[in-house]
């Protein structure tokens, strides 16, 4: 299957479909400005490495790599719900698209030297057991000076449906205890570590313990200022009304068997999303696209 996909979508020196961890198919993108890995499982970006900056994404050394299990790190796609499913405690956290294999639709080179790879997945009989709606989800990953991500959902059914979505980006940092998050000052957030109580962010966000905050009504650019690595990791959003910031800290990390001891210090999630009060309603035949552009500033 990998060889056939490489024949169909490979671009010599730019795009190769290879066997990744766990024997899973992954797309390796190489451009003058950066490289990236995207697994077909969940269409999950697991690496983005701009030349001169080093790896931007965190990937757990203990991650599973198997269909049906989420990869711990990179950029999981959460859809059509976020966290637990409100009406079904047995449903997988963060929806069902991050644990299934997506299709590659196209791989193309841009005039600016970037490469775009398009993936898609559709609801089917399996997903219908969890979520009785029909949709086509497409994901465009553009690798170059920046990392462009566009998630678009088309309602292919006859009736409207509501969905949540998140690009659950795990940023790699030198030490999360020496990180500041800029861009959320003054924003209202729901603190999931405190019963989703509504609070207001004063100043830049500094982490001194577990954080699981959903910032509401903010389209603002979010910057993770990684003092230890001397770089800033930037996320600019379009059509995303919420931003989630998460780190489990030492206690929370102990409950994550697919996170090695101490790795919680090397990661912070900052997530372009539409969740909770920003759930998206999509009428029949409508399409909604959310995008995020990740870049590194010195």
Q: Which is nearer to ligand TA6, 138 or 168 (CB)?
A: 168
* Cα separations in angstroms, 185 against 113, 125, 206, 218, 287: 36, 44, 11, 10, 31
Binding site for ligand TA6 (CB under 6 A): 70, 83, 93-94, 168, 192, 212, 244, 246, 269, 271
Residue with Cβ nearer ligand TA6 (77 or 244): 244
Q: Residue of minimal CB distance from ligand TA6?
A: 246
* Residue 94 appears among annotated catalytic residues: no
- Evaluate whether 142 touches 195 at the Cβ level (below 8 Å): no
Give min distance, CB of 62 to ligand TA6, in A.
Answer: 13
Beta pairing class for 15-19 and 25-30: antiparallel
Residue 120 or 192 having the CB closest to ligand TA6: 192
111 classed as catalytic: no
* Contacts of 230 by beta carbon, 8 Å cutoff, 6+ apart: 298
Q: Least separation, in Å, of the C-beta of 102 and ligand TA6?
A: 18
For ligand TA6, the closer CB: 96 or 246? 246
Strands 267-274 and 165-167: antiparallel
Nearest Cα residue to 165 out of 33, 31, 289: 289
Q: Which candidate in 168, 223, 236, 263 is catalytic?
A: 168
Give the whole-angstrom CA distance, residue 116 versus residue 127. Answer: 27
Closest approach, Cβ 213 to ligand TA6, in A, equals 9
Q: How far is the CB of 37 from ligand TA6 (least distance, A)?
A: 19
Kindly name the residue from 118, 236, 263, 271 that is annotated as catalytic: 271
| Active-site amino acid positions | 168, 271
């Amino acid at each position: 299957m990998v060889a056939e996909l490489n024949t169909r979508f490979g671009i010599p020196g730019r795009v190769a479909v290879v066997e990744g961890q766990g024997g899973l198919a992954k797309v390796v993108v190489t451009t003058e400005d950066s490289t990236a890995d995207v697994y077909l499982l969940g269409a999950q970006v697991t690496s983005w490495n701009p030349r001169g900056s080093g790896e931007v994404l965190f990937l757990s050394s203990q991650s599973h790599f198997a269909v049906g299990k989420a990869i711990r790190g990179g950029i999981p796609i959460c859809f059509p719900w976020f966290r637990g499913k409100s009406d079904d405690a047995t449903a997988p956290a963060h929806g069902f698209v991050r644990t299934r294999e997506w299709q590659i639709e196209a791989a193309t080179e841009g005039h600016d030297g970037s490469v775009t790879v398009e993936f898609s997945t559709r609801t089917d009989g399996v997903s219908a057991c969890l979520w009785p709606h029909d949709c086509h989800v497409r994901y465009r990953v553009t690798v170059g000076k920046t990392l462009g991500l566009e998630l678009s959902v088309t309602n292919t059914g006859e009736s409207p449906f509501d969905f949540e979505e998140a690009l659950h980006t795990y940023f790699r940092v030198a030490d999360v205890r020496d990180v500041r998050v800029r861009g959320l000052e003054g924003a209202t957030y729901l603190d999931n570590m405190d019963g989703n109580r509504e609070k207001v962010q004063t100043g830049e966000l500094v982490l001194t313990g577990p954080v699981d905050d959903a910032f509401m009504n903010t389209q603002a650019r979010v910057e993770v200022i990684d003092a230890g690595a001397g770089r800033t990791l930037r996320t600019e959003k379009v059509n995303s009304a919420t931003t989630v910031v998460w780190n489990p800290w030492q206690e929370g990390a102990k409950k994550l068997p697919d996170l090695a001891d101490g790795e919680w210090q090397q990661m912070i999630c900052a997530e372009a999303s539409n969740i909770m009060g920003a759930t998206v309603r999509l009428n029949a035949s409508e399409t909604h696209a959310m995008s995020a552009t990740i870049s590194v500033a010195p």
